[in-house]
């Protein structure tokens, strides 16, 4: 089959997904609480106007009829009219989207260039100083919130040093603008061969692209390093080496073979950025579609929000298709018509695939990842016990003893030799430090974290106020150390709920061999194609700005991550013989899942939990930076940065810098924790495996599954 035929076939496969996105967009915007007509009517609207609008938008019709109208309008390219601009939403998006896509594309080019170069360099120099430096740098960058980094970069490069331009958007105020073709200024200046405008636009794109690109290069570098290390040990490279091929040539081959996972991640980053670019667009006044969407949310411009969500979802699908095509181009072994082909299938396969490739091989054969189950099949007498009053009573009486046994076993587990690797110790220490400090410091510090003292507003750091004071006269030090109570609580609840639902659905979807699993996965595909950041804004905006909604938004983001992770594990586990044995021995399906599948499938989810917590803290802070979630005077890192952002360019840097550093350290703590858990699991897994050959020394990053790294994006 020619590539064109394959492309056409892949494009056809995207149609059901697009249909799913359209349907989900309709449902999400209808299900959310709040009256969109009341929002649309605007100030001073009479009841008559509200009713007119209700009729005009068809909100009084039955839901099914509204859905049919909605589909009909979309087919005609009609996304409605923006309340804010008075123009068709489709036109608005076509005007603003190119500049966002330009920003994202340039950012991704920078991120991939830096990330791939750094990853390859680190892999080639594995174990040397340059490897450590790159790993260290990428680790730090992974933990830094991009909006904070952008603010600090502006302060230093524009305000202090004067080498960056003012953050006024895509081009200077009085610079010559190119003729509008796509409305992406840099691209338009190339298309019109206007090199004066091109220079000015490139100068203005420099800071947002570099700051954003640098942050995003970190996950790419880590993934590229791990993928490259594995590829360098692959048979074809060994063969090339034995043939005496020059090192340069071998590296070129290896780099190319190591690229597919990075492409998957780049595609994921691209689709995620369509929505989450809003933070950078606002800081740099970029004027793109993400900023348009955020403004639409702020002003309850219902049609505009709906249109943006729909277009962003469609972009995701298009990107997935394009990546599929690129797969074929880069790696001729990959064919989308082959079983399990296609971006989404590969995305789903990544955890198992990538992780499996990182495992030691015996005679060229891959070790079955779970040939020795973590939970051993139960003895026959435990299977399907009959419930009688006596057995129930015995079970109840034995609860304290079992609990005590669990505690003792947990204690012994914690003391297991080799468990406490450096990452785990460092991560646990950081998190414990923040947790303990968040209760101890407010109790002993002379300033109340909730009590403002306007008389000492904006004092610079001193012995009395080590981190200075903010505009309301709050002591920044005590608030920075009280904030974990809020940040960790929000992130933990959001991730816990997401993990609970995601793991449950993942097990159900993985274990079911029928239509249920397929439906769940298709819904997950659609959910992951949405701009989650904007959806979270919509949720909070329409249903009230309270922390409960932030928790829900966070849970919503995490469900698909855990679902995919656990499902991919369950798919492997369910085919293993001990599961067959458990079923053959008469265990019910539920018991088999709970006692045998779950313990063997939940490991990656535990690792992911730590990473998701780090991501959750960043997300809570990002939402708080947009004014969503936490209200004053509750100390919270993101809202502290939001409050201080007006002050950083008037010289009161401490109001932003200290909360940002604390936030980054906390995120780094969770990243270290998950890395440490992963290392421990690898170690304990390798101990149980019989006669495994010596494996390369475990290095942080190598063992991290792709989803985990994606979660930190």
Q: Should residue 445 be labelled a site residue for another protein when binding is judged by CB under 8 A?
A: no
DSSP 362: E
CA gap 553, 383 in Å, rounded: 41
* 500 binding another protein? (CB under 8 A): no
* Candidate list 114, 282, 641, 664; residue touching another protein; CB under 8 A: 282
Among the listed ranges 115-123, 496-504, 517-525, 648-656, the one in contact with another protein (CB under 8 A) is 648-656
457 contacts another protein (rule: CB under 8 A): yes
What is the distance between the alpha carbons of residues 223 and 678, in angstroms, rounded to a whole number?
Answer: 15
Determine which residue in the list 71, 345, 471, 698 makes contact with another protein, applying CB under 8 A.
Answer: 471
- Please say whether the beta carbons of 536 and 272 come within 8 A: no
**Separation between Cα atoms, residue 268 and residue 223, nearest integer Å:** 13
Q: Smallest distance from the beta carbon of 49 to another protein, in angstroms?
A: 6
The stretch near another protein (CB under 8 A) out of 219-227, 279-287, 316-324, 583-591 is 279-287
Pairing relationship of beta strands 365-366 and 361-362 according to DSSP bridges: antiparallel
Contact present, 426 and 434 (Cβ < 8 Å): no
Among 649, 661, 692, 698, binds another protein (CB under 8 A): 649
Q: Which of residues 197-226 bind another protein (CB under 8 A)?
A: 198-206
Q: Does 645 bind another protein (CB under 8 A)?
A: yes
Burial of 417 (0-12, 13-18, 19+ CB in 10 A): exposed
Range 315-344, binding another protein (CB under 8 A)? 328-329, 332
Assess 84 for contact with another protein (CB under 8 A).
yes
Contact between 186 and another protein per CB under 8 A? yes
* Piece of 517-525, 557-565, 637-645, 679-687 that binds another protein (CB under 8 A): 637-645
Contact mark string toward another protein, 142..181, x via CB under 8 A: ----------------xx---x-xxxxx--xxxx----x-
Instruction: Note whether 11 binds another protein by CB under 8 A.
Output: no
The three-class DSSP label of residue 361 is strand
Binding residue for another protein, selected from 15, 27, 38, 393, defined by CB under 8 A:
38
Calpha distance 488→432 (Å, rounded)? 11
The reply to whether omega before 646 is within 30° of 0 (cis) is: no
| 440 scored as a contact of another protein (CB under 8 A) | no
642 binds another protein (CB under 8 A): yes
Q: What mask, x for binding another protein by CB under 8 A, covers residues 395 to 434?
A: ----------------------------------------
Closest CB to another protein among residues 293, 367: 293
Query: Is the distance from CB of 471 to CB of 647 less than 8 angstroms?
Result: yes
Q: Nearest 5°: CA angle at 540, between 538 and 541?
A: 60
Q: What is the chain's Cα-based Rg?
A: 27
| Sole binder of another protein in the list 13, 383, 437, 458 (CB under 8 A) | 458
Span from 19-27, 405-413, 453-461, 584-592 in contact with another protein (CB under 8 A): 453-461
CA gap 26, 292 in Å, rounded: 20
Contact 665, 142 (CB under 8 A): no
Helix (H) or strand (E) run with residue 708 in it: helix 706-711
Fill in the per-residue mask, 522 to 541: x = in contact with another protein (CB under 8 A), - = not in contact.
Answer: ------------------xx
How far apart are alpha carbons 533 and 483 in whole angstroms?
Answer: 22
Stretch that binds another protein, among 365-373, 375-383, 591-599, 636-644 (CB under 8 A): 636-644
CA neighbor of 193 nearest in space, from 203, 181, 175: 181
Residue 285 engages another protein in binding (rule: CB under 8 A):
yes
Contacts to another protein from residues 537-596, by CB under 8 A: 540-541, 545-546
Tell which one of 321, 617, 626, 708 touches another protein (CB under 8 A): 626
Considering only 339-347, 450-458, 669-677, 703-711, which stretch makes contact with another protein by CB under 8 A? 450-458
CB of 169 to another protein, least distance (A): 6
Asked if 515 touches another protein (CB under 8 A), the answer is: no
Of the candidates 97, 43, 195, the one whose C-alpha atom is nearest the C-alpha of residue 531 is: 97
- Residues 609, 613, 614, 615, Cα dihedral to 10°: 100
247 binds another protein (CB under 8 A): no
Q: Any residues with CB less than 8 A from the CB of 700 and at least 6 apart, and which?
A: 135, 139, 423, 675, 679
Out of 29, 183, 524, 528, the only residue in the binding site for another protein (CB under 8 A) is: 183
Least distance to another protein, CB of residue 280, Å: 12
Task: Return the residue of 244, 339, 379, 455 that touches another protein, per CB under 8 A.
Answer: 455
Does 85 contact another protein by CB under 8 A?
A: yes
User: What is the three-class DSSP state of 305?
Assistant: helix
Query: In degrees rounded to 5, what are phi and psi of residue 629?
Result: 110, -80
Q: How far apart are CA 443 and CA 626, in angstroms?
A: 30
> Considering only residues 104-133, where is the footprint of another protein by CB under 8 A?
106, 109
Q: Is 2 in the site for another protein (CB under 8 A)?
A: yes
Residue 297 within binding range of another protein, rule CB under 8 A: yes
CB of 353 to another protein, least distance (A): 22
Cα 122 to Cα 124: distance, rounded to the nearest angstrom: 6
Q: Is 33 in the site for another protein (CB under 8 A)?
A: no
Name the residue with tokens 């109340």: 448
CA distance 664 to 678: 21
- Contact flag: residue 373 with another protein (CB under 8 A): no
- Measured CA to CA, the distance from residue 204 to residue 212 in angstroms comes to 14
Q: How far is CA 633 from CA 441, 448, 473, 483, 637, in A?
A: 17, 11, 11, 11, 12
Nearest residue (CB) to another protein, 117 versus 546: 546
């Amino acid at each position: 089959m020619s590539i064109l035929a394959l492309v056409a076939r892949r494009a056809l496969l995207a149609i059901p997904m697009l249909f799913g996105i359209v349907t989900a967009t309709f449902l999400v915007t209808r299900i959310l609480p709040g009256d969109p007509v009341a929002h649309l009517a605007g100030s001073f609207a009479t009841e008559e106007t509200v009713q007119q609008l209700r009729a005009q938008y068809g909100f009084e019709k039955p839901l099914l009829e509204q859905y049919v109208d909605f589909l009909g309008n979309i087919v005609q390219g009609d996304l409605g009219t923006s309340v804010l601009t008075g123009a068709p939403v489709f036109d608005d998006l076509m005007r603003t989207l190119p500049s966002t896509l330009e920003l994202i594309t340039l950012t991704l080019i920078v991120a991939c260039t830096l990330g791939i170069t750094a990853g390859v360099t680190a892999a080639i120099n594995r174990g040397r100083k340059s490897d450590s430096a790159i790993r260290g740098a990428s680790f730090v960058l992974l933990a830094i919130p991009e909006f904070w980094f952008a603010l600090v970069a502006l302060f230093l490069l524009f305000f202090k040093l004067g080498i960056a331009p003012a953050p006024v958007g895509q081009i200077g105020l009085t610079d010559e603008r190119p003729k509008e073709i796509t409305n992406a200024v840099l691209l338009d200046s190339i298309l019109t061969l206007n090199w004066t405008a091109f220079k000015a636009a490139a100068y203005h794109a420099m800071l947002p692209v570099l700051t954003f690109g640098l942050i995003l290069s970190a996950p790419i570098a880590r993934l590229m390093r791990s993928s490259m290390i594995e590829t360098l040990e692959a048979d074809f490279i060994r063969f090339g080496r034995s043939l005496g091929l020059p090192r340069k040539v071998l590296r070129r081959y290896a780099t190319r073979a190591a690229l597919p996972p990075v492409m998957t991640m780049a595609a994921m980053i691209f689709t995620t950025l369509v929505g989450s670019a809003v933070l950078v667009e606002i800081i740099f006044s970029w004027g793109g579609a993400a900023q348009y969407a955020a403004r639409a949310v702020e002003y309850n411009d219902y049609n505009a929000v709906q249109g943006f969500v729909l277009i962003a979802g469609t972009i995701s699908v298009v990107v997935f298709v394009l990546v599929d095509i690129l797969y074929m181009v880069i790696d001729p072994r990959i064919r989308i018509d082959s079983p399990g082909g296609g971006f989404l299938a590969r995305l789903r396969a990544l955890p198992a695939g990538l992780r499996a490739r990182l495992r030691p091989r015996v005679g060229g054969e891959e070790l079955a990842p779970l040939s020795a189950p973590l939970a051993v099949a139960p003895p026959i007498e435990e299977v399907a016990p009959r419930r009688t009053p006596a057995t129930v009573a015995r079970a109840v009486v034995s609860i304290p003893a079992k609990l005590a046994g669990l505690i003792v076993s947990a204690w012994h587990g914690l003391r297991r030799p080799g468990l406490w690797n450096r990452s785990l110790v460092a991560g646990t220490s950081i998190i414990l430090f923040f947790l303990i400090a968040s209760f101890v410091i407010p109790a002993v510090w002379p300033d109340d974290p909730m009590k403002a003292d306007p008389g000492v507003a904006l004092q610079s750091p001193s012995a009395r106020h080590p981190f200075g004071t903010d505009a309301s006269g709050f002591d920044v030090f005590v608030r920075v150390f009280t904030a974990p109570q809020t940040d960790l609580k929000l992130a933990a609840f959001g991730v816990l709920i997401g993990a609970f639902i995601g793991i449950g659905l993942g097990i159900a979807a993985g274990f079911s061999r029928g239509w249920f699993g397929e439906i769940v996965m298709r819904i997950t595909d659609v959910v992951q194609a949405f701009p989650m950041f904007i959806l979270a804004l919509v949720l909070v905006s329409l249903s009230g700005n309270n922390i409960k909604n932030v928790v829900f938004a966070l849970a919503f983001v995490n469900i698909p991550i855990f679902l995919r992770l656990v499902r991919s594990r369950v798919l492997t586990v369910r085919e293993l013989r001990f599961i067959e044995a458990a079923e053959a021995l008469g265990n019910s399906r539920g018991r088999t899942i709970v006692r045998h599948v779950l313990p063997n499938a939940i490991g990656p989810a535990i690792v992911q939990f730590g990473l998701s917590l780090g991501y959750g803290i960043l997300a809570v802070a990002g939402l708080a930076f947009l004014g969503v979630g936490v209200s004053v005077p509750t100390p919270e890192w993101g809202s502290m940065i939001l409050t201080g952002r007006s002050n950083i360019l008037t010289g009161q840097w401490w109001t932003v810098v200290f909360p940002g550093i604390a936030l980054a350290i906390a995120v780094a703590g969770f990243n270290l924790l998950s890395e440490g858990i992963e290392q421990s699991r690898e170690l304990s897994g390798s101990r149980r495996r019989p006669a495994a050959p010596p494996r390369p020394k475990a290095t942080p990053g190598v063992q991290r599954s792709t989803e985990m790294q994606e979660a930190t994006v």
